[in-house]
Structure formats: structure tokens, C-alpha cells
Amino acid sequence: MPVSKKPRRKAATAAFPAPRATPVLPDRRAMEGHLAAFSARRSNDAIDQAQDIMYQAWDAANRRQRVALAHRALSVSPLCADAYNLLAEEAGNAKEAKN
């Protein structure tokens, strides 16, 4: 005659605490802009001016402001890669991203 096993005990919830909520951190690229003020090298060429505009764009509250600032950065310097990245991130589809 088979003998039944005792039911297993459920694991105590105290052994596995709930994961902590991840703190909300500011955008890494915006932080780079703030930290750049402490850097020794700071020139005023077009790429740096465009990058400063991009730091403002990442801090902007809504999509329309971010896109407008990215276009403004590209008008200052078409070599500002971050402006292209932001426009690609904000694009709704591939056709919009090409423009």
C-alpha cells in the first residue's frame, strides 16, 4: 500500500522580500550637459552650441518643444548627432523619421 507524502511547506514571504522601486533618474544626456559646465575645455564652436540646444531639448516638457529644439540645433550645426537621434526617437513611423 503506497504511503502519501506530507505536503510541502510554502516558502516564507520574508525569505524573498519584494523588489524595491527603481528611483527615477534624470536623462543621462541632460546630466552630461550639466556636468560639462565643470569641464576645463569648453569652446564656442557650432557643434558645442548645437549640443547646448540639445541639452535644453532633453529637458523640454513636451514632444513639440523637443522636436523644435532638435531642428534648431541642426540649423546651427548639421553635425549634431544627438539631434538626429532625438528626431528618430520622437518619430511616429519610418516615413516621419526620414523627414
What does the domain layout of the chain look like in residue ranges?
Answer: 29-34+44-98
**70 and 41 in contact (C-beta within 8 Å)?**
no
Whether pTM exceeds 0.75: no
Q: What is the per-residue pLDDT across 63-93, written as a single tens digit (0 to 9) for each?
A: 999 999 999 999 999 999 999 999 998 887 7
Residue 51 parent element (H or E)? helix 46-59
How far apart CA 97 and CA 99 sit, in angstroms, is: 5
Q: What is the pLDDT of residue 6?
A: 76
Lookup: cell for 61: 516638457
